[in-house]
Structure 1
Amino acid sequence: SIDILSKGMSKGEFNSVSAAVGGYEKLIDTSSKAYKDSTLQYLAYEGDKIEKLLENPAMFKTPIVRNGRQATVGYCPDVWKTWE
């Protein structure tokens, strides 16, 4: 797993996880205070949204867990059990 709040996420890691879960939108915790207090939902361009998201890791859904090229966002113990 990635300690998002203390370390953040590199752009490469972000791109890899985004691809594994089906898009960066799935990484956003829209119920978080950080998201609600941000301007993320009002930004028009994907690049601007990604930059804002990387600047404020409190907007990520957690946990983000990786296993090779696979990744999950949120609590997914049934998926994790299938990983070897």
Structure 2
Amino acid sequence: MNIQIFGTKKCNDTKKAERFFKERGIKYQFIDMKEKGMSKGELTSVASANGGIANLVNPDAKDKDAVALFQYIADEDKLEKLLESQQIIKTPVVRNGKQSTLGYQPDVWKKWE
């Protein structure tokens, strides 16, 4: 398994995801999205694994303006907008190769083991 956890240090669900893998002795790579966001390829891969780019957006994100703007821009511009405003992505994004999840989903992660 090659686990990557994209999140922020202040996000409780990200901390719970880290704990989940730590308790099982599974090595993972943590990427702080405040310091280094996702690449276009990573974002595209996560979007396709999770049913499209619109599913990546957290409707409860603090940046309400970015969430509102994202909902009303043309579909072909959404990937670029999400690359610019990664603070509105649901965290944690946990990747295992081509598989990925959004938010805290231990039931899915158990199936990866």
Q: TM-score range by the shorter chain?
A: 0.7 to 0.9
**Deviation >3 Å, runs of 4+:** none
How far apart are residue 70 of structure 1 and its match? 0.6
TM-score by length of 1: 0.88
1:37 to 53, 65, 68: 65
Matches within 5 A, 1:1-84: 1-2=5-6, 3=31, 4-34=33-63, 36-38=64-66, 39-43=69-73, 45-84=74-113
TM-score by length of 2: 0.67
- The sequence identity of aligned pairs, in percent, is 52
Larger radius of gyration: 2
- 5+ residue gaps, structure 1, are none
> How many residues align structurally?
82
CA RMSD of aligned residues (A): 1.2
- Is 2:46–2:100's contact at 8 Å kept on the other side of the alignment? yes
CA–CA distance in structure 2, aligned partners of residues 53 and 63 of structure 1: 15
Which structure features the higher share of strand residues? Answer: 2
How far apart are residue 68 of structure 1 and its match? 1.4
Partner SS for 2:35: helix
CA–CA distance in structure 1, aligned partners of residues 59 and 85 of structure 2: 13
Q: Deviations over 1:7-52 (max 9, x none)?
A: 1111100111111111111110011122x12221221x22222211
